[in-house]
Amino acid sequence: MDGNGRWAKQRGLKRTEGHAAGEHALFDTVEGALDIGLEWMTVYAFSTENWRRPVDEVRYLMNFNENLLLRRRDELHERGVRVRFIGRRGGRVPGRLRRQISDAEELTRRNRTMTLTFAFNYGGRAELVDAARAIGHEVAAGRLVPDKITDRTVARNLYAPDMPDPDLLVRTSGEFRISNYLLWELAYAELVFTDVLWPDFRREHLFEAIREYQRRERRFGAVDG
């Protein structure tokens, strides 16, 4: 969900007002995703690198996310959305936000219409480091021999082992980067880039990205059949 700061700057607003405007973009997109029957959607809300931002902006984002979960979790629940989080829970994430995260996950955990995953305090490298540590512990405990480590060993040690690999990645705001997002999971994803800044993103932009996806030919390393 990139481009909030530039969106605000273009309007002579504070960066934080760009983040606030991103909420409508997110919920319009979620509604659109529900309408077309999308079962999995993951959004990059805060990266392990975003801690480098000014303290005021970081504080704003922590409060904003806490508050958003509190205000929105019931409507997500009513719409059959399972809310989940991937990322490092501990560290600098404030306790109050951590509690809102657990509460929203707990409230919605039986829902299956759509799984909406927030990547928060998330980094693709951190996720792989955490997986490597968990695998190391299995080896040390004598439950796994190193030669038996496969793709599946890594995959089952990711933050959301049951999440299917994404088919489509949409990157907003005219940047052409992965920025440490779902590094393992995106191995065969189709990438769609748009100049739209996140606060201007609407369900129609998601639909357009999906139409673009449908025009692609996916071969997964093989040749066409």
Query: Binding of ligand IPE at residue 66 (CB under 6 A)?
Result: no
Query: Binding of ligand IPE at residue 87 (CB under 6 A)?
Result: no
Query: Binding of ligand IPE at residue 124 (CB under 6 A)?
Result: no
Query: Binding of ligand IPE at residue 4 (CB under 6 A)?
Result: yes
Q: Annotated catalytic, 4? A: no
Instruction: CB nearer to ligand IPE: give 4 or 121.
Output: 4
One symbol per residue from 179 to 208: x for binding ligand IPE (CB under 6 A), - otherwise; what is it?
-------------------x----------
Distance CA 23, CA 166 (A): 23
Query: Binding of ligand IPE at residue 69 (CB under 6 A)?
Result: no
Residues 19-48 that bind ligand IPE (CB under 6 A): 46
Spatial contact of 126 and 91, defined as CB atoms under 8 Å apart: no
Q: Smallest gap, in angstroms, from Cβ of residue 61 to Mg ion?
A: 12
Q: Annotated catalytic, 180? A: no
Query: Binding of ligand IPE at residue 50 (CB under 6 A)?
Result: yes
Query: Binding of ligand IPE at residue 63 (CB under 6 A)?
Result: no
Residues noted as catalytic: 2, 50
Give the binding site for Mg ion (CB under 5 A).
Answer: 2
Residues at the site binding ligand IPE, with contacts judged by CB under 6 A: 1-6, 46, 50, 61, 173, 198
